[in-house]
Amino acid sequence: MTDYSEIEKEVDKHSDAIWDLASHVWEFAEVGLEEQKSSAYASALLEKNGFKIGDRGIGGLDTSWIATWGKGSPTIGILVEYDALPGLGNDTQPTKTPAKSGNTNGHGCGHNLICSTSIGAAMALKAHMEKKGLTGTLKVFGCPAEEKMTGKNYMASAGAFEGLDVALHNHPAPVNSVWNFHSTAMVDLIVEWNGVTAHAAAVPWEGRNAVHAMEVFLVAANMMREQMLPTARLHYQILEGGLAVNVIPDYAKVLIRYRGPSAENCEKYKAWLIDIAKGAGLATQTTEKVTLITGTYDVIGNDPLARNVYAHLKRYFPIDWTDEEHAYAKAIQKEMGKPELGLADTIPPMPTASVEVGASSDVGDVSWNVPTMGVVYSSWPQGIPPHQWGCTACHGMSIGQKATTHAAKVLAASVLDLLTQPDPIQAPWDDFEQQHKGQTDNSLTELDPPPGGELLPRERHHYECCIHGAMEHFGIEEPTL
């Protein structure tokens, strides 16, 4: 039987660095495609610990990177995220309180912990593998813009995950579990209409109203919901809708996201939405333009990998929360009008890969390339949905600190099994083939490069300064030319 105490101790030795990383990324709180400080700090910490940053800017995403250490098989991928959400900035108080920094962005989905957990596990594994002379290759992927669904899908299209034997990831939650469920695929469309301006009172008949086209489109799209499957979702954000009340608006723009149980289903409803956009243009004598800005595949579970990760979840969770931490969580629940249950202190049965959920993740494109599994762990109060200020608050204090350290142990122990147990890769690949039933990932993305993925010259200069600054912070000597 494998002794996991040594890999636990390696995580504990790195616990200060793990929390330092989580805290810095929490403070930076940069939204997707703008994660210059977070990306630089995370990659520099890996370099400090002996990983080589061999690639940056994968798939047209300038803040992405791949860090590699080791040699030989198996090759294990570990996924990192670091983007925050707009409007969710908060202080580390159990009340809705602006962040002291004034930053209105916040880690309301805990991506600062995703970053620190994955990198913490990688650092501990590298140290343990060196001591024990274990063969294997660790590849850590810095993945931007998960919240915009414009990260791993474009990296996958560029071939970033080819050659992996297994990929592992992690995600904070109000519960303890494993990501062994089937989540939705999705597409994002930008729909625009162009009309004709006119004085809205004197001669409105001379104008053609683009906002009316958008209204017709949204009404019809909402009617489409009746014909959507139960796990499908539809949401939209109005981006532009006129500049003055007394001018017939000649331009309107909306972002609409459709989520469905498969890529095939998304393609079907994407075509329907395009037809609705055309119809709205015809109805208002405006011209429409539809652009697919991103798309991701559904996440496919993997029962053999899930059993491995779940076994270690039970080893390190539930966390023994203090009375003060439970009280902190209950204060958040009280302010949000939720039952005051505190933090999760149980582990429910392991879900199977057939369980359906309505959410999406760009991890889906990874799971269509290689057997993939993630640990899901308690880091915010029970009953609180993600993308809330209360989640942000927890991820900057002791609750988040305990969560990321324990989760790093789960990932590290899971990878240790893949490195040391006899033939641990075949069963996940057999399940992978069974789940995919011969289907392949043809990518739902169309734009090259991805929108916003390439930094402007001024931004690129700032990012390079962030990289140099982080390297200097960690005492990394840069090569001289």
pTM beyond 0.85: the answer is yes
For residues 108 and 172, is the Cβ–Cβ distance under 8 A?
Answer: no
Q: What is the pLDDT of residue 18?
A: 98
Q: What is the rounded average pLDDT of the residues 128-139?
A: 98
Q: Which of the pair, 217 or 438, is modelled with greater confidence?
A: 217
For residues 324 and 385, is the Cβ–Cβ distance under 8 A?
Answer: no
For the chain, give the number of residues: 481
**Among candidate residues 234, 245, 20, the one with its CA nearest the CA of residue 119:** 20
**DSSP codes of every residue in 373-436:** EEEEEE-S-TTPPSSSHHHHHHTTSHHHHHHHHHHHHHHHHHHHHHHHSSS-SHHHHHHHHHHH
Instruction: Report the C-alpha gap between 328 and 95 in whole angstroms.
Output: 9
**Among candidate residues 84, 18, 75, the one with its CA nearest the CA of residue 46:** 18
Query: Worst-scoring range by mean pLDDT, 98-112, 120-134, 442-456?
Result: 442-456
pLDDT digits (tens, 9 = 90+) for 1-34: 789 999 999 999 999 999 999 999 999 999 999 9
Q: Report whether pLDDT(481) > 70.
A: no
Q: Which residues of 345-357 are buried (b: 16+ CB within 10 A; e: fewer)?
A: eebeebbebeeee
Q: What is the pLDDT of residue 278?
A: 98
What's the whole-number average pLDDT of the chain? 96
Q: What is the pLDDT of residue 479?
A: 65
- Band of pLDDT at residue 174, cut at 50, 70 and 90: very high
Instruction: Report the C-alpha gap between 381 and 19 in whole angstroms.
Output: 20
Q: Report whether pLDDT(269) > 60.
A: yes
pLDDT digits (tens, 9 = 90+) for 338-355: 999 999 999 999 998 888
- Band of pLDDT at residue 436, cut at 50, 70 and 90: confident
Q: What is the pLDDT of residue 224?
A: 98
- Band of pLDDT at residue 448, cut at 50, 70 and 90: confident
Q: What is the pLDDT of residue 449?
A: 87
Q: What is the rounded average pLDDT of the residues 128-141?
A: 98
Instruction: Report the C-alpha gap between 162 and 174 in whole angstroms.
Output: 33
Q: What is the pLDDT of residue 202?
A: 98
DSSP assignment, residue 81?
A: E
- Band of pLDDT at residue 116, cut at 50, 70 and 90: very high
**Among candidate residues 363, 300, 361, 350, the one with its CA nearest the CA of residue 78:** 363
**Run of H or E including 76:** strand 75-81
Q: What is the rounded average pLDDT of the residues 71-85?
A: 98
**Among candidate residues 176, 136, 147, 85, the one with its CA nearest the CA of residue 360:** 147
**Among candidate residues 102, 95, 128, 104, the one with its CA nearest the CA of residue 31:** 104
**Among candidate residues 171, 206, 227, the one with its CA nearest the CA of residue 372:** 171
What are the tokens at 59? 């798939």
Instruction: Report the C-alpha gap between 3 and 17 in whole angstroms.
Output: 24
Q: What is the rounded average pLDDT of the residues 309-331?
A: 98
- Band of pLDDT at residue 478, cut at 50, 70 and 90: confident
Residues with Cβ within 8 Å of residue 17, at least 6 apart in sequence? 45, 120, 123
What are the tokens at 63? 């803040």
Residue with tokens 């040391």: 420
Pairing type for strands 136-143 and 75-81 reads parallel
Q: What is the rounded average pLDDT of the residues 156-171?
A: 97
Instruction: Report the C-alpha gap between 113 and 8 in whole angstroms.
Output: 18
Instruction: Report the C-alpha gap between 170 and 319 in whole angstroms.
Output: 16
